[in-house]
């Protein structure tokens, strides 16, 4: 078995993309892939939803989730929002999780820390779901209508874990405010949460800032 290519985030770049058109407020959120309504029964969780994407934009993300045992972060009843980098975003970041090759322990740690900070235990949306009542919001809905909101990611024990989500459909970690990801496909409603498709990848904390534990998150037990 050949040694996998070392991971590097030095190639991480911000790509300017046109702002996605906002969905009509109050519209019924549908389970969809690539914006197209699904006629069949919806997938059971975010991971299955991503695997069903008709353009196969998330194979690297899913391979990385599997490699580091982080599936528990995006399964369960929710609420949960995954800021999901595309294959192209991972490629530009120099990240590869070949399913036929085991990651080196140090690389697996970086991948796990990266994935953890892309997840919050809220349903984060830019448009109101059907029947939304601001006085009695469903689950833990965080509606980003103007300005920005700051939420903690699942990675609670290292620096750079606060995610700042802007109404202009951007997200960045507070520790790296200059590296901003664009939400290029917003408000994809999965059965157990919300997917916000992003580019680029949010770079992980520096190696020296990692705490000793690298246990995969278990937020829904």
With tokens 């949306």, the residue in question is: 125
Residue environment code for 30-66, b if the CB has 16+ CB neighbours within 10 A, otherwise e: ebbbeeeeeeeebbebbbbbbebbeeebbbbbbbbbe
List Cα–Cα distances, 59 to 3, 50, 150, in angstroms: 21, 8, 28
Q: Which fold has domain 42-144+182-202?
A: FAS1 domain (2.30.180)
Higher pLDDT, 32 or 8: 8
Please check the confidence at residue 124 and state whether its pLDDT lies above 90. yes
Higher pLDDT, 180 or 3: 180
Q: For 163-192, what is the mean pLDDT?
A: 89
Please check the confidence at residue 72 and state whether its pLDDT lies above 90. no
Q: For 51-61, what is the mean pLDDT?
A: 95
**Residue 87: in which H helix or E strand, if any?**
helix 87-93
Higher pLDDT, 66 or 218: 66
Say how many Å lie between the first and final Cα of the chain, rounded: 36
Question: Quick check: pTM over 0.85?
Answer: no
Please check the confidence at residue 202 and state whether its pLDDT lies above 60. yes
Strand partners, 32: 37
- What's the pLDDT band for 207 if we cut at 50, 70, 90? low
Instruction: Give strand ranges (E) for the chain.
Output: 32-33, 36-37, 81-85, 119-120, 123-125, 141-143, 148-152, 162-166, 170-173, 181-190, 193-199
Q: Which two tokens stand for residue 41?
A: 């029964």
């Amino acid at each position: 078995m050949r040694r996998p290519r070392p991971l590097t985030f030095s190639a991480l770049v911000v790509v300017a993309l046109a702002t996605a058109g906002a969905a009509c407020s109050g519209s019924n959120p549908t389970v969809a892939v690539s914006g197209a309504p699904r006629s069949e029964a919806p997938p059971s969780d975010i991971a299955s939803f991503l695997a069903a994407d008709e353009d196969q934009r998330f194979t690297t993300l899913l391979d990385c989730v599997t490699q580091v045992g982080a599936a528990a972060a995006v399964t369960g009843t929710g609420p949960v929002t995954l800021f999901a980098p595309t294959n192209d975003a991972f490629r530009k970041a120099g990240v590869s999780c070949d399913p036929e090759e085991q990651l080196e322990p140090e690389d697996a740690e970086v991948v796990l820390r990266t994935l953890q900070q892309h997840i919050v235990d809220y349903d984060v949306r830019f448009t109101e779901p059907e029947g939304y009542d601001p006085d009695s919001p469903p689950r833990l809905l965080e509606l980003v209508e103007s300005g920005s909101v700051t939420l903690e990611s699942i990675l609670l024990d290292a620096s750079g874990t606060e995610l700042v989500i802007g109404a202009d459909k951007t997200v960045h970690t507070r520790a790296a405010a200059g590296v901003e990801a664009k939400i290029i496909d917003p408000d994809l409603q999965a059965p157990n949460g919300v997917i916000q498709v992003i580019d680029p990848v949010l770079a992980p904390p520096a190696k020296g800032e990692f705490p000793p534990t690298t246990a995969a998150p278990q937020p829904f037990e």
